[in-house]
Amino acid sequence: MTTIKATLSLALILGLIEVALPVFADNAPVPPNGILELEGHTSVILQTGGFDFLADVTGRLEDAGLTFQYRAVTLGAYYRPITNLKVGVFDRLQAGVRHDDDWVSSPNPLPWSWRSTTGRLENELMLDASPRFLLDFLPGRSWVLMLKGRYIYNTYENQMSVMVRPELTFFWLVDREPLVDFQAAYEAYFPLNFGTTLIYESYPWLGIHYHLASEVMLELAGSFKTTVWSSSQQWLAAGNSPYQITYSRWLVSFGVLWTLSP
Amino acid sequence: MAVPPALLALDGQIIYAEGTVTVTGDSGPQDAAPGTKVSAGSTIATGTDGLAMIDLSNGTQIKLREATSVVIAAIGDNTQVSLSTGALFTHILGKLAGSFSVRADNTIAGVRGTEFFIAYGRTVDSQRDIWLCVNSGVVDVSIPASNQEVQVPAGKGINILGGTRLTPPRGYRWTRGLNWNMDPSIGSVEDHTSMDQTYSDLLNHDYN
């Protein structure tokens, strides 16, 4: 009888612990539960009068269920003041982006969950400068090194950041024209007025472009993205404990790029 | 002694000149001007500021761009021009009398009543590319040493890679900027199409 009581007591205690565990876990955010994201995009570049006007539409499936989360439309233009430099201005309308504190359920932070942000429109203004150099001393003589720098102002809570991307591209030329190019890059986002980390998001990036014709390119790219969400100033000002979430996942991207020159 | 009319017909002449243009013949180099005679063996060269147009007497006119040098290899029923450097345009007035061809390195462009443009491009591995595009008519392009031949129709162009390999004719966007005009009375005859733009600009690729 004593044994039965002890067993029941133990089961009750274990049951209570099991019920209580999610409550304790809810005190700290965890990364989203996906390891793979699939992205598709198409770009049209209209080259005219010294400007490259660009329009891009991007969509991305995220999380474990590969749900349609991120979507964006980008419009803007590049201008090339000198051979080795392009500057650009772009505006991006996007939705489905997760920012710091998007895991908080308001007004009560418990229990937490990831907010759905697919209906939240954000506007990003981007200023871009990308010096590039032909490394014709390397084997094949068709290597290009580019260092892209981009200032980003997001209307969502006036967040500002700087993106830096060193990028090396090798063009496989057939009859003096590119047939395929291979890109390796590392992209890093430095938050200027939010977050508690030096780098908000970063990833190595490998891409292949098949030049189907002078006007059409097909893109296949892959990267391993790491994003860090951390306490916002509002969160800390409310007396909450600081937090930091690091989320890493693979991204596979497909693209079709059109270049038009009237 | 009077020169027989048949031999007079074997001379061509400069019909237009701008900037530095020299004709080198038996009597050595001389500054060229409209009316300056050219004949088989003559070398006509333009400076970096120069432009020249030459009537080759068999119904053929050629326009030399800046920094160009040609040798009149033969003139008459079988007129042959050898392009040493630079670029030239051809223009046939009416019906071509005899034949006309332009040689660039090992490449021969044979003309059948047409307008075409031929120019040296980049030097790759010590071999010069040769670009050719046709505005009207057809040009037979051949490399006799390797038995390669291709017909280039109007609106198409080819790149002869290193002067040794013919590529299939296709439309090239850069050819739209060529100035085919060879009549100064109706407008500028200058052409400043950069041959560098005939190549893919690897520094102009932006994917996002």
Does A182 reside within a domain? Answer: yes
Chain A residues with CB-CB distance to B202 below 8 A:
134, 142, 144, 169, 171, 178
The answer to whether A163 faces chain B, any CB pair under 8 Å, is: no
Distances (CA, A) of A33 to A29, A90, A94, A114, B174: 12, 32, 22, 11, 52
Does A37 reside within a domain? Answer: yes
Give pLDDT, residue A20: 39
Tally of structural domains, chain A: 1
Residue numbers of chain B with a pLDDT score lower than 50: 1-9
Model confidence at A189, in pLDDT bands (50, 70, 90)?
Answer: very high
Give pLDDT, residue A109: 53
ipTM of the complex: 0.81
The Cβ-side half-sphere exposure at B184, using a 13 Å CA radius, reads: 11
What is the extent of the structural domain holding A103?
Answer: 31-260
Prediction pTM value: 0.82
Nearest to B206 among A52, A142, A181 (CB): A52
- Which has the closest alpha carbon to A199: A207, A190, A209? A190
Length of chain B: 208
CA gap A172, A181 in Å, rounded? 6
Does A11 reside within a domain? Answer: no
- Test B202 with A144 for CB contact under 8 angstroms: yes
> What is the C-alpha R_g of chain A?
24
Does A4 reside within a domain? Answer: no
Q: What is the pLDDT of residues B12-25, one digit of tens each?
A: 999 999 999 999 99
Does A74 reside within a domain? Answer: yes
- Test B167 with A175 for CB contact under 8 angstroms: yes
Does A19 reside within a domain? Answer: no
Q: How many angstroms separate the CA of residue B134 from the nearest CA in chain A? A: 20
Whether residue A107 is predicted with pLDDT greater than 80 in this model: the reply is no
Does A8 reside within a domain? Answer: no
> Could you tell me which chain A residue has the CA closest to the CA of B196?
A176
Does A58 reside within a domain? Answer: yes
Helices (H), chain A: 2-25, 233-237
Question: What CATH number did the domain enclosing A48 receive?
Answer: 2.40.160
